[in-house]
Structure 1
Amino acid sequence: MLFRTKSAAVYGIDAHIIDVEVDVAAQLSEKPLFTTVGLPDAAVRESRERVRAALRNAGYDVPNTTITVNLAPADIKKEGSGFDLPMAAGILGAYGGLNKQTLDDVVMVGELSLDGSIRGVRGTLSTAVAARAAKIKRLFVPVENAREAAVVDGIEIYPVKTLMDVVHLINTGNGIEPVKVDSQAVLNEAQHFNVDFKDVRGQQTAKRALEVACAGGHNILMIGPPGSGKTMLAKRIPTIMPPLTFEEALETTKIHSVAGVLDSRAGLVGVRPFRSPHHSVSDAGLIGGGAVPRPGEVSLAHHGVLFLDELPEFPRNVLEVMRQPLEDGTVTISRAAMSLTFPARFMLAAAMNPCPCGYFNDRTRECKCSQPMIQRYVAKISGPLLDRIDIHIDVPAVNYKELRSGQAPEGSTQIRERVLHAREIQLNRFAKERIYANAQMSSRQIRTYCELSSEGEHMLERAMSQRGLSARAHDRILKVARTIADLDAAAQIESRHIAEAIQYRALDRTFWA
């Protein structure tokens, strides 16, 4: 007898609906045979042992017949353990254990334990989106994945704990109510932070630079001695960035769900991600990879912040692979059998010491590094990568008076208000362009939107000639100056905006030569 159910295969961050066809031979055989076809991976092929044991321990006696399971379409690779549940349901239906002839109106995913209980799987949110697109109204998912899937409107999500729950739900329609989640309320509840800029004493120049970076979407590099607060500042960047929209939250959650790092209690990533990989990370860990490619750190930081501490300590080849996501906002991973593209639009925040010992130009500690040592240290960061970082800012050590000052520092809420106002100006400016922030402007757009006053023109010309700045530095200064002018709500870039932008080019100064 033939019985059909439906499941889903996650491919990249998207899911594809899969028909699970189960055929059971009419006659008994001496040895039970269970064959899975349709391009399954090892985890799917192993499911036959889990499914048989789960059915037996749930109280169902599976006769010694030949069982053939086809996962269609056969040209899409099936991987993972999420096909256990639809295969078990298909076998029960083929043996007459269900009241229906087919289950074409239900998509189900879940891994079976040997006792018949159902475990969570990756990519449930993507499965819910695919089911809604296929106009399938019901989705059976493990309990721990229910909140994640329920943020998708227009589909009924049924949380199931055991195989018997699924059988009763199919046969009687009773016992389990669909999960309801107010996705906007979930997003609003998640908009809170455990850190704030008011915790940071001193470092007013660095705080201002981070405000400018967030307002214009600029990448930033902080340079300072150990203990000056670079990591502390970086961790507070998400607190002043614009809040996630629901569409951004949904896309970010899909990535985290596929990667298996989503908090099942939250169901939705409500704040901008902050990823801080160690400098020992491999290029596959940073960009993504594997036999079946998984998202890397740059994709997990999508719509958020990727913080690289001790930037020169990262291997050169690892830093070089970031050039594509920094330029395009996507990562393409090619394998012999497939090529996947993951989104990776993030703000890069990096930190480094000014020299190997960390105390070059420090007022309290003596630097023991020679000039060639400093040059070799800074040269570990390639020119093409530095070209994609608009702001280089010095972060000196905080002195005692600033640490013990009784004046309360400005909090993240006030800074974020200014950032949001500047972002709104940019959204209106680029309404007819395919960009949303000043950092994304091309050379043509820089000439169009970065109009200088006469004083600003003279100041930029003087800085270019006296400091020997390159054409790339010229464009970076104009982008940052445009953002500073937006924070001042100024239509034209003035000399004070140019002067501040020039101060954010620490690596262009002569003492690095």
Structure 2
Amino acid sequence: MSGFGRAECVALRGLEGVGVQIEVHASSGLPVVHIVGLPGPAVQQARHRTWSAIARMGLTAPSGRVVINLTPASLPKAGTHFDLAMAIAVLRASGVVPPDDEATALLGELGLDGRLRPVAGTLPLARAAAEAGMTRLVVPTASADEASLVAGLRVLGAPSLAHAAALLGAELEPEPVEPVLADPVPARAHAALDLADVVGNRDAVDALEVAAAGAHHLMMVGPPGAGKTMLAMRLPGILPPLTQVQALDVASLRSLSGEPAAPTLDLLPPFEHPHHSATAVSLIGGGSGAIRPGAAARATHGVLFLDEAPEFPRTVLDMLRQPLESGTITVHRAAGAASFPARFQLLLAANPCPCGQFGSGDCTCAPQQRRRYFGRLSGPLLDRVDLQVRVDRVVPGVDGERHRRTTADAASRVTEARARAAHRLHGTEWTAMGHVPGPWLRRSLPLDRALLAPLERALETGSLTMRGLDRTVRVAWTMADLDAVASPSLTHIGRALALRKGIPA
């Protein structure tokens, strides 16, 4: 007796998906199962989950020789999301499930009892299925809301293999089963924080607003307890809300990282805050099996905050230099490469010296210790940071309770400045001045030589690089947008240059 069945699934390379067709050929002979097509360890183990689940659901599986082929055969396959498609293809080979007349993709992990479990990356997998031409998607019940965020797909949730088979036309009346529930969505700590909580440090608040208005990178230096982390956690609240496409990118990256997805898209920009013990893989991405995004990729369209920045390994920090320029991260492994978006705002915080008291107390550090401490931040990395600001401890009575800038006030000014920049950049791929490359800026938005004179003098003395000059001009344009003027003035150039060189050595 022989039979043939097939089912559709998808594989991921980063956030990009590739359609995978699973073919099953069952024939007479000794009972053995061969899985071919570069299956990873989790896919190889699917044979045990599949045959156990089919038996527990009271269904019939082929009893002879079975060959399962995953095409394209040249693409490595990793993950447990192939389980459901593999099981349905096996049931089609045995005649339990009829052939599919609709372009249907199947995603889900099987338990030995036949129940379907959610898998990491459901959202990007669903997006890949839609891009591959699928019109219907069957997923575990717990993943149905997440997959439904993708337009153009009819999503069907199934609690078990038997229920999925019935949805695909099998003549079954599956018994009710308790579906596997998804993990609860954690609350976002920075979602309800207000800038009005910040007392004093108006220069730092101004710099934070400039950073938000132009998507500029910022570094804050100050003693412990000055409020650097407090300021950093309020930056997402004054950034413009995400667009639907951006929110879908952010949700896809979080889903791929294994985080539970909310039933609706969150338009608040993400905020990633890795510890200074983070490894290169946790910051950039990677893994021994499937390549997962790191903190830099998960911060896409939001903020990557590195507190105690000099405590990070220098080699790890320097890995951010390429994504800061290109806005993408490509992770290469022996099995292939995966690319992730990485258009984030870098926010660094540091103490002024190892003891933290330089400039605000009794510092016990020698000058060479201070230089060595900041030497952990390489010059090429700092050259990509647009703004540097000192954050001092607040003296009692300073700033009082009046005239504090609220998140709503700052967000309104940022939104208006971004709108002016977007109007200026209409017809380009950029929407914020911080994203504009130097050659385009010099060619399309030239400034008078008199305005550039202070920058050229800094360039001649070596205190400013050509990249730094371009970034300073971009900050000046952002300040002009915040002031609602048509172009930067000499005052804007001076302020931008002061913020560029704001931290004394």
Whether the 8 Å CA contact 1:228–1:396 is kept in 2: the answer is: yes
Following superposition, the deviation at residue 290 of structure 1 comes to 1.9
Q: 1:234 to 1:171 in 2, by over 3 A?
A: same
Alpha-carbon distance between aligned partners in 1 of 2:172 and 2:414, rounded to the nearest angstrom: 51
Residue equivalent to 2:15:
13
Alignment partner of 1:220 is 2:218: yes
Residue equivalent to 1:266:
263
Whether the 8 Å CA contact 2:201–2:394 is kept in 1: the answer is: yes
Equivalences for residues 210-289 of structure 1 within 5 A: 210-261=208-259, 263-289=260-286
Deviates more, 1:278-287 or 1:347-356: 278-287
Residue equivalent to 1:183:
none
Residue equivalent to 1:68:
67
Following superposition, the deviation at residue 146 of structure 1 comes to 1.2
Whether the 8 Å CA contact 2:19–2:128 is kept in 1: the answer is: yes
Q: 1:496 to 1:60 in 2, by over 3 A?
A: same
Q: Secondary structure at the match of 1:74?
A: coil
Structure 1 gap ranges (5+): 177-189
Equivalences for residues 112-151 of structure 1 within 5 A: 112-151=110-149
Whether the 8 Å CA contact 1:452–1:492 is kept in 2: the answer is: no
Q: 1:442 to 1:137 in 2, by over 3 A?
A: closer
Query: What's the CA shift string for 1:278-315, capped at 9, x where partnerless?
Result: 11111121111123322111111111100011111111
Alignment partner of 1:349 is 2:347: yes
Following superposition, the deviation at residue 438 of structure 1 comes to 1.7
Whether the 8 Å CA contact 1:58–1:116 is kept in 2: the answer is: yes
Alpha-carbon distance between aligned partners in 1 of 2:281 and 2:214, rounded to the nearest angstrom: 29
Q: 1:174 to 1:427 in 2, by over 3 A?
A: farther
Letter of the 1:280 counterpart? S
Letter of the 1:90 counterpart? A
Residue equivalent to 1:159:
157
Whether the 8 Å CA contact 2:60–2:96 is kept in 1: the answer is: no
Match of 2:384 among 379, 383, 388: 388
Give percent identity, aligned residues only: 39
Residue equivalent to 1:377:
373
Residue equivalent to 2:393:
397
Structure 2 gap ranges (5+): 175-187
Q: Secondary structure at the match of 2:169?
A: helix
- Scaled by the length of structure 1, the TM-score of the pair is 0.89
Alpha-carbon distance between aligned partners in 2 of 1:450 and 1:434, rounded to the nearest angstrom: 19
Residue equivalent to 1:181:
none
Q: 1:508 to 1:166 in 2, by over 3 A?
A: closer
Equivalences for residues 109-508 of structure 1 within 5 A: 109-171=107-169, 193-261=191-259, 263-291=260-288, 292-362=290-360, 365-402=361-398, 405-407=400-402, 409-447=404-442, 448-449=444-445, 451-452=447-448, 456=451, 469=464, 471-507=466-502
Whether the 8 Å CA contact 1:136–1:155 is kept in 2: the answer is: yes
Deviates more, 1:303-312 or 1:492-501: 492-501
Residue equivalent to 1:83:
82
Following superposition, the deviation at residue 57 of structure 1 comes to 1.1
Q: Secondary structure at the match of 1:401?
A: coil
Q: Secondary structure at the match of 1:400?
A: coil
Alpha-carbon distance between aligned partners in 1 of 2:159 and 2:377, rounded to the nearest angstrom: 51
- Scaled by the length of structure 2, the TM-score of the pair is 0.90
Query: What's the CA shift string for 1:217-275, capped at 9, x where partnerless?
Result: 110000000000101110111101111001111122222222212x3333534321100
Letter of the 1:119 counterpart? R
Whether the 8 Å CA contact 1:298–1:344 is kept in 2: the answer is: yes
Q: Secondary structure at the match of 1:153?
A: coil
Q: 1:464 to 1:170 in 2, by over 3 A?
A: closer
